Amino acid sequence: MLTFSVACQSSGGEGEGGLEPAYGPCSGYYPVTVDLSVLDLRAEEIEEVRFGGVLAYGLSALADDHVQVTVQGHASCGPVDVVLHTKDGERTHPAGFRYLAPQSAYFERVVGIGASLGQGVQGGVPTAHGVLMSPLAQVVRQAGGFMPLPALIEPLFPQISPQEVGDPPDCPSPDVVTFVATQIMGSISAFTDPESGDFSFDGMREDPDVEVMNLSVGNAKVVHLLHGLPPDDLAANFLGHLVYDPHGEILAPLPDSPVERVERLEPTMIMSTDLYGNDVLRPLLNDPEPMTAEELASIAEALGTVLDRLAATEAQVFVANLPDPSLLPAAKRHLKEVEAEELADVEAFLTSLQQAALYLNAITGERAATHPNLHVVDLMEPVAEISANGLMVGDQRLGAERFGGIVGLDGVHFTDTGYAFLANLFIAKINEVLGTDVRAISLAPVLAMDPESPAALRAAGVAVDECQ
Model confidence pLDDT, tens digit, residues 187-207: 778 888 788 878 888 889 999
Of 206, 213, 201, which Cα lies nearest the Cα of 74? 213
Mean pLDDT of 95-109: 96
Q: Is the pLDDT of residue 307 over 60?
A: yes
> Predicted confidence band at 246 (pLDDT cuts at 50, 70, 90)?
very high
Q: Which amino acid is at 84?
A: L
Q: How many residues does the chain have?
A: 468
CA distance 57 to 153: 10
CATH of the domain at 139: 3.40.50.1110
Lowest mean pLDDT among 66-75, 107-116, 335-344, 429-438: 335-344
What CATH number is associated with residue 48?
Answer: 2.60.40.10
Domain boundary among 67, 100, 133: 100
Tell me the β-bridge partners of 66: 35, 63
What is d(CA 458, CA 404) in angstroms, rounded to the nearest whole number? 12
SS3 28: coil
Q: In the structure, what pLDDT confidence band is assigned to residue 344 with cuts at 50, 70 and 90?
A: low
Return the pLDDT at 205: 93
Percent of the chain's residues with pLDDT above 90: 69
Q: Is there a domain that residue 75 lies in?
A: yes
Task: Check whether residue 252 and residue 302 sit in a common domain.
Answer: yes
pLDDT of residue 337: 58
Q: Which residues contact 164 (CB under 8 A, 6 or more apart)?
A: 173, 174, 409
pLDDT higher than 50, residue 216: yes
Q: Where are the beta strands (DSSP E) in 231-305?
A: 269-272
d(CA 250, CA 240): 10
Q: Do 166 and 124 share a structural domain?
A: yes
Parallel/antiparallel/unpaired status of strands 54-63 and 46-51: antiparallel
Q: Based on C-alpha coordinates, what's the Rg of the chain?
A: 22
Which of 79-88, 185-194, 369-378, 415-424 has the least mean pLDDT?
185-194
342 and 232 in a single domain? The answer is yes
Structural domain including 80 reads: 19-100
Q: How far is CA 429 from CA 65, 303, 308, 410, in A?
A: 46, 21, 20, 28
Per DSSP, the residues of 355-387 read: HHHHHHHHHHHHHHHH-TTEEEEP-HHHHHHHH
- Widest CA span in the chain: 77
Q: Is the pLDDT of residue 320 over 90?
A: yes
My answer on whether 70 and 109 are in the same domain is no
For residues 55 and 62, is the Cβ–Cβ distance under 8 A? Answer: no
Question: Is the model more confident about 331 or about 19?
Answer: 19
Please report which confidence band the pLDDT of residue 342 belongs to, taking 50, 70 and 90 as the band edges: low
With cut-offs at 50, 70 and 90, classify the pLDDT of residue 340: low
Spatial distance between the Cα atoms of 294 and 304, rounded to a whole number of angstroms: 15
Would you place residue 13 in the very low, low, confident or very high pLDDT band (cuts 50, 70, 90)?
very low
Pair 73, 202 in one domain: no
- Flag whether pLDDT at 433 surpasses 70: yes
Q: Are residues 210 and 248 in the same domain?
A: yes
**78 plus 128 within the same structural domain:** no
pLDDT at 181: 77
Weakest mean pLDDT among 87-96, 305-314, 356-365: 87-96
Residue 64 lies inside a defined structural domain of this protein: yes
Of 50, 73, 100, the one marking the end of a domain is: 100
pLDDT for residue 100 is more than 60: yes
Note whether 204 and 74 are same-domain residues. Answer: no
Under 8 Å CB-to-CB from 319, ≥6 apart: which residues? Answer: 271, 272, 275, 307, 310, 364, 368, 374, 375, 376, 377
Q: Render 421-433 in DSSP notation, one character per residue.
A: HHHHHHHHHHHHH
The pLDDT score that the predictor gives to residue 449 is 96
pLDDT at 7 over 70: no
Strand partners, 122: 125
The answer to whether position 202 is within a domain reads yes
Distance separating alpha carbons of residues 20 and 38, to the nearest angstrom:
13
Residue 438 belongs to some domain of the structure: yes
Structural domain count, the chain:
2
Same domain, 87 and 132: no
Please return the burial class of 462, using the count of CB atoms within 10 Å of its CB with bins 0-12, 13-18 and 19+. buried
- Each residue's pLDDT tens digit, 381-415: 999 999 999 999 999 999 999 899 999 998 889 99
Boundary residue ending a domain (70, 100, 130): 100
pLDDT of residue 16: 55
Q: Does residue 151 sit within a domain?
A: yes
Q: Are residues 79 and 180 in the same domain?
A: no
Pairing of strands 316-320, 54-63: unpaired
Residues 393 and 296 in one domain: yes
Averaged pLDDT, 320-330:
92
Q: Which amino acid is it at 73?
A: G
pLDDT, one tens digit per residue, over 275-293 is: 999 999 988 877 778 889 9
Is 1 part of any domain?
Answer: no
Q: What mean pLDDT value characterizes the chain?
A: 90
- Shared domain for 195 and 322, answered yes or no, is yes
d(CA 103, CA 427): 12
| Contact between 446 and 416 (Cβ < 8 Å) | yes
In a domain, residue 216? The reply is yes
Residues contacting residue 328 through CB under 8 Å, at least 6 positions apart: 281, 284, 400, 407, 411, 412
Most confident of 79-93, 225-239, 339-353, 427-441: 427-441
Per the domain annotation, does 8 fall within a domain? no
**Among 67-76, 127-136, 229-238, 239-248, which stretch is predicted with the lowest mean pLDDT?**
229-238
